[in-house]
Structure 1
Amino acid sequence: MTSAQTHVVIIGSGPGGYEAALGAAQLGAQVTLVERQGIGGAAVLTDCVPSKALIATADFMDRFTAATTIGVGFEGAAGDQGVTARLPDINGRIMALAGQQSADIGERLESSGVEVMQGAGRVAERGVVEVVQQGGEVTRLPADVILIATGARPRVLDSAVPDGERILTWQQIYDLSELPEHLIVIGSGVTGAELAHAYLGLGCQVTLVSSREQVLPGKDADAATVLEDVFKRRGMNVLGRSRAQGVCLDGDGVVVTLTDGREVPGSHALLAVGSIPNTADLGLREVGVDLADSGHVNVDRVSRTNVPGIYAAGDCTGVLPLASVAAMQGRIAIAHSLGDAVAPLSLGRVSSNIFTDPEIATVGIDQADIDEGRIDARTVVLPLTKNPRAKMQNVKDGFVKLFARRGSDTILGGVVVSPRASELIFPIALAVSARLNVDQFAATSTVYPSMSGSIAEAARQLHSVAE
């Protein structure tokens, strides 16, 4: 079977879906992309793109707040010197930006020859996708290859039912017409930490309810410590080892009840307690696709399910909930199904970022791999307070951490905690992917002064002296 004879049907147009569609079209397949909401999926319309735009707005405000520390003042009457977050304007800009990104993706799909069908898709039988369109019309699409890329939705608690006004999921916050007076964020994982940071920067009083001892459980402990210290220094109330039992409305506000009996009053509550894969009612179990108890689609490293011809990508698989990984899974699935050259997914080479201030970026192995004896490696940590560029930019928090295999000095991973860590992690990711050693890495010239200079310096400090 050649790719020109292959009909690919993709259910879901998030990063996993639209990247797969573009790849399949490039390889000459006939491609139909089925989407029941909007092009780009939740990542573009209600999750990744909007949240990062909100964070960028908060960071912009922070720069004004910190201006006096570097000698910058504001002229004019005292009442005109404040910086105020106008939430309707902020949310309007964010949703317009998301809409434009969705339109841009739609134009790319159209110009590539991908047919986009609006409706709810499901696998009717092996090799057939059924689409229920608006008005109830049902279309059956023959498919040589089926890709499930339906993403996930916010998990909610039975004892904390969102109403879209006071009790919110992260997809509902862009409908707010005024800034919360006191926002209680339940959950201190990546989403909770990012949005708690954003609203704190916009001027809200924020309480972060963390069920673990530290924010960002499972992430680099040194990085989490820095971030939690920054949160507290800026006025956030972080409740560690505190699990929410429920949330109820109380007049014009909410009350969050903790499992130890404490009650935390606020104006709004934001649930950030994980996500649920959108795999129900897709006909997957009926055709024999293996699903985890959580509902995630089980796939291998080339995105195959256990049923021939059916692949899955993105948050519905539970592999790693990142838009970049979803896109990678989608591209890999298409390359494999159409016989193109493909390398299986390698999570050890995937870089990720937490968009707080400072940002936290990671790639490769982590400190726990070394501490628990899984990998024999050496570590160096350089605080950014010693970096001249950081001093110029008034950066007071952060560090660079590198891991190198003992003996060969091959760079195995790293952590960057700094402004724009999402950009600074790239050279470390490149080193991990290319299996560079610390000497090769350190020998590459860096600009002076620059934040990247600390990364090169960390590599120099990992140089092994022959005994």
Structure 2
Amino acid sequence: MSTRVVIIGGGPGGYEAALVAAGDGASVTLIERQGLGGNAVLTDVVPSKTIIATAEWRSIASRAPQLGIRDADGSDSAEFDEHLVDMAAVNARVGRLVRKQSGDIAARLEAAGVRVIDAQARLVSPTTVEAAGETLEADAILIATGARPRVLPDAAPDGVRILTWTQLYSLADVPEHLIVVGSGVTGAEFAGAYRLLGAEVTLVSSGERVLSKEDPEAAQVVQDVFASGGMTVLGGARAQSVVNTGAGVQVRLADGRVVEGSHCLMAVGSVPNTQELGLEAAGVAVDERGYILVDRVSRTSARGVYAAGDCTGVLPLASVAATQGRIAMAHALGDAVQPLDLGLVASNVFTTPEIASVGATEAQLVERGIFYEVSRLDLARNPRAKMLGIDTGFVKIFGHTVTGQILGAVIVGSRASEHIYPLSLAVSQHLTVDQVASAFTVYPSLSGTTSEVARRLHGMRDPRGR
């Protein structure tokens, strides 16, 4: 008899786990109440990055005059930044891509023999799940129910003018003046995108700079770009309340100031979807914020019950959720397991320019007392960047002064998310700066800067003589 696996949640953690389990011969049932793909596909990653892609096109188009592209009348003042944005058409495209991606996931699961139930699930015990009036016995259970936007009591979203990031895709027009509360990844991405789409944008940041968890130099580049692009960034400001006035919104700050706009996006974090799941009955422990406690192979406190993704609070990335789900199934089915190592995670902020990073941050290296050197070069000196009209961004690598091993890296620039991969390989495979520098790059290419940055760390020596 094959191993019976029940998965609650059809996001990256859930559907990737289902495919792994089915591939290993398990009998798999996946229960999802809102649609396959979870928040990552339905309301978060896929739709938000689709809007960001449209905004990025406008940024690229604004460089056209310096590349020799003129208006039809031959003038230099092509005003590419005045292209009109049809928000209804943009959102319709978002809807099509979401449905296509969700449908592709459904097709993969069906081809793999995974049974999908459209329902709310509840654990009865560590081996029993109830859904749609059916009782399912399981040898292994995975919980991957994700998270939802955090809501402040005095800034409750109404879906009209006060919005969470899941509600932006119903806007008929580009907001006249969008106030974004929260300058983390979500807030910064949407603030940058809607400014490029033509909205006036005010970004309310509780810290003095945006993206406080990113490399400080990288975050400063993005903040400078925001400012030069006409965005207003209110640093050291905390929103106390938001009111829909009918004609717009009023955001009251803790210091008494009031900011007025047409719409407000609340991007103040997430809370886990762990209520009404029967976790207590199954013996699954959660922390004080409601996140499910897991170890590095995704085990919960209940034997045979695993958890993956945003409901665990480990790291809110789709790639981490998928990895947690795959690790959980490998462990449950007795396959070889490589525990989750957050030090190897590559991440990206989809602002313009993007910030991609992998491995240890400089702050972490200092805190750990690790001997390292930094090599950094601006992309503006790269020949390919010159051809493309790119004059913002840099590549930075942290190398160990004794072994030469690449400990971490940061790339700021166009498509940084694509260019971080070789450095992600370097960190995960413990490559040295010399090994990365010795690999061929295409000339001219943006990746040539990565090679040159690594080359500059050749022959590192610990300045303290150790």
From 219, 225, 229, give the equivalent of 2:224: 229
- Deviation per residue, 1:218-242 (Å, 9 max, x gap): 1100000000000000000000000
Tell me, what secondary structure is at the counterpart of 1:196?
A: helix
How far 1:70 moved relative to its partner?
Answer: 2.0
Partner of 2:159: 164
Structure 2 spans left out of the alignment, 5+ residues: none
From 419, 426, 449, give the equivalent of 1:431: 426
Alignment-mate amino acid for residue 256 of structure 1: V
1:272 aligned onto 2:267: yes
Partner of 1:125: 125
How far 1:370 moved relative to its partner?
Answer: 2.8
- Deviation per residue, 1:397-436 (Å, 9 max, x gap): 1100001111111011100001000011000000111111
Tell me, what secondary structure is at the counterpart of 2:310?
A: coil
Tell me, what secondary structure is at the counterpart of 2:28?
A: strand
CA contact (8 A) 2:191 2:203 kept: yes
1:214 aligned onto 2:209: yes
Once the two structures are superposed, the pairs formed by residues 276-355 of structure 1 within 5 Å of their partners are 276-355=271-350
1:55 aligned onto 2:52: yes
Between the aligned partners of 2:192 and 2:255, the Cα distance in structure 1 is 26
Once the two structures are superposed, the pairs formed by residues 8-407 of structure 1 within 5 Å of their partners are 8-75=5-72, 82-131=82-131, 133=132, 138-407=133-402
Alignment-mate amino acid for residue 265 of structure 2: L
Q: Give aligned pairs, total.
A: 459
How far 1:65 moved relative to its partner?
Answer: 2.1
Between the aligned partners of 2:102 and 2:254, the Cα distance in structure 1 is 41
CA contact (8 A) 2:62 2:79 kept: no
CA contact (8 A) 1:64 1:83 kept: no
Alignment-mate amino acid for residue 89 of structure 1: A
Between the aligned partners of 2:414 and 2:232, the Cα distance in structure 1 is 23
How far 1:76 moved relative to its partner?
Answer: 5.6
How far 1:375 moved relative to its partner?
Answer: 2.3
Between the aligned partners of 2:457 and 2:79, the Cα distance in structure 1 is 51
Alignment-mate amino acid for residue 92 of structure 1: A
Between the aligned partners of 2:41 and 2:236, the Cα distance in structure 1 is 33
Change (3 A) 1:391 1:436: same
CA contact (8 A) 2:194 2:201 kept: yes
CA contact (8 A) 2:207 2:236 kept: yes
Percentage of matched positions with identical amino acids: 56
Alignment-mate amino acid for residue 140 of structure 1: T
Change (3 A) 1:371 1:465: closer
Change (3 A) 1:440 1:203: same
How far 1:38 moved relative to its partner?
Answer: 0.5
Between the aligned partners of 1:426 and 1:79, the Cα distance in structure 2 is 36
CA contact (8 A) 2:209 2:219 kept: yes
How far 1:327 moved relative to its partner?
Answer: 0.3
Between the aligned partners of 2:73 and 2:270, the Cα distance in structure 1 is 48
TM-score by length of 1: 0.96
Between the aligned partners of 1:146 and 1:103, the Cα distance in structure 2 is 24
- Deviation per residue, 1:123-166 (Å, 9 max, x gap): 111200011x3xxxx11100110000000000011000100010
CA contact (8 A) 2:404 2:460 kept: no
1:6 aligned onto 2:3: yes
CA contact (8 A) 2:4 2:26 kept: yes
From 442, 446, 449, give the equivalent of 2:441: 446
Tell me, what secondary structure is at the counterpart of 2:337?
A: coil
How far 1:465 moved relative to its partner?
Answer: 5.5
How far 1:338 moved relative to its partner?
Answer: 0.2
- Deviation per residue, 1:426-450 (Å, 9 max, x gap): 0000011111111111011111111
Between the aligned partners of 2:317 and 2:213, the Cα distance in structure 1 is 16
**Range 386-395 or range 180-189, more displaced:** 386-395
Alignment-mate amino acid for residue 173 of structure 1: L
CA contact (8 A) 2:42 2:98 kept: yes
Change (3 A) 1:76 1:403: same
